Amino acid sequence: MENEVIKGDCVEIMSALPRQIADCIFADPPYNLQLEGELWRPNMTKVDAVDDKWDQFGGTEEGSEFKSFEAYDDFTEAWLKAARHVLSDTGTIWVIGTYHNIYRVGKVMMDLGYWTLNDIVWVKTNPMPNFRGVRLTNAHETLLWAKRSKEQKKYTFNHHAMKLYNDGKQMRSDWELPLCTGAERIRINGEKAHTTQKPEALLERVIVASTRVGDVVLDPFFGTGTTGAVAKRLGRRWIGIEQEERYVELARRRIEAVEPMSQEWLKQYTQDPSPPKRIPLKHLIQQGLLRPGDRLKHTRLDVEAVINPDGTISANGYQGSIHQVGALVAGSPACNGWTHWTYMCPQTGRQTLLDELRRVIRGQ
C-alpha cells in the first residue's frame, strides 16, 4: 500500500492497516465551516468558498450547529484514534485547521493522549480579504504538531535542516507562505479542482522537519495529493487516503508526474546527520583499550576513579557510569564523563581524555 492512494473512509482504512506503519501523519481534515449562503466580492464575482459536502456535519435547522459540533467531535475522535493505530512509536502527527475546528481538534488530541510539540502558524502572505468588512482578514491557519504521548522519547526533528528556511538561524513557529496559486493550483476547465489545495512549500517544511529520507508519510485526507507529491520529491514514501473518486484520480496523476530529487542532495539538505552511535565504557574494556582496575583522573578535581569489570567506575564511595560518578563527585546535576575523565595512555605516557578512545572506536 506504500506510494498508493487508497480510496475510502480514512477511519475504516487506517484501522485495517498494519500497526505503526507511518513515521509521520499529515492531516488536513474537514474544517466544519458551516457557511451560510454564498459569498460575493464587491465587484459581484462569486468567492470559491468551501461549501463542499465533505465539509458538512449535522443539519441546517435551528440549533444544528450544536449537533454539528458533536458530530464533528465524534468524527475527530474516530479518525485520531485510527491515526494512533498507524503511527509508529517514534512518529509524529501534524493536523492543520482554522479557528472553525482547530481548537476542537486540539482538545480531542490532548484527551487521547497525544502530546503537543509545537503549534505553528501558517501566515498567509496573500489571504482572501473579509469582503463584508465586518471582521479582520483571516490571514492564518494553525498546525498542531504532536507525538503519540508525553512519554515518547524518540521522534525525528531535523533541527539543522530546518535552519535553511530561516537564513541559517533556528526555525521559528510562524511560517510565512503564500496560498496555493498560479501554476501549482490544479484547475479543470479553468475552475479550481479542489477548494482547499495546500501549497507544496508548506508540506515541504512539514516533511523536512519531521521525517528522514525513506520514511513513510501518511495523509488520511489526501485531496489533490499535495502530501504525496512533496513526499515523493523529497525521497520519502507515502500513503494517501481519500474518499472521493475524482480527487483520488487527480492525486494519482499529479504524483506520477513528480520527479524525486537525487538521494545525495536529499541526505545533505533535508535531514540532519544521524547522531553518533552510543559507545559504553564496557565496549572499550572488551576491545582491550582499558582494563578493570585502571585508574581515571578527573580533569578539574583532585579525584581518582577505578574502572570496574562491568564498565562502571568507583570514586569517593560512589559507583556508576562515568557520567553518573562524574556528576556526583562534582556535585553537579549532569556530566559528560567522556570529557571529564582522563586515563594514562600507554603509547604517549600522558593523561588523555577518554573521549580520544571513543573517537578511535567511532573511527573504526
Ligand X SMILES: C[S@@+](CC[C@H](N)C(=O)[O-])C[C@H]1O[C@@H](n2cnc3c(N)ncnc32)[C@H](O)[C@@H]1O
Contact residues for ligand X, defined by CB under 6 A: 9-10, 28, 30, 54, 194, 196-198, 221, 223-224, 226, 241-244, 247
Q: How far is the CB of 181 from ligand X (least distance, A)?
A: 13
Q: How far is the CB of 18 from ligand X (least distance, A)?
A: 19
Q: How far is the CB of 49 from ligand X (least distance, A)?
A: 13
Separation of alpha carbons 194 and 244, rounded Å: 11
Helix (H) or strand (E) holding 143: strand 140-147
How many helices and strands in the chain, by DSSP H and E? 11, 16
Nearer to ligand X, 255 or 335 (CB): 255
**Grid cell locating 263:** 538521494
Nearer to ligand X, 89 or 244 (CB): 244
Nearer to ligand X, 243 or 324 (CB): 243
Nearer to ligand X, 6 or 117 (CB): 6
Nearer to ligand X, 127 or 320 (CB): 127
Candidates 200, 171, 174, 197; CA nearest to 186 is 197
CB within 8 Å of 246: residues ≥ 6 apart: none
Q: How far is the CB of 37 from ligand X (least distance, A)?
A: 21
Separation of alpha carbons 173 and 124, rounded Å: 14
CB 108 within 8 A of CB 172: no
Separation of alpha carbons 246 and 252, rounded Å: 10
Candidates 176, 218, 225; CA nearest to 198 is 225
Residue nearest to ligand X (CB): 223
Q: How far is the CB of 180 from ligand X (least distance, A)?
A: 7
Q: How far is the CB of 288 from ligand X (least distance, A)?
A: 57
Nearer to ligand X, 8 or 273 (CB): 8
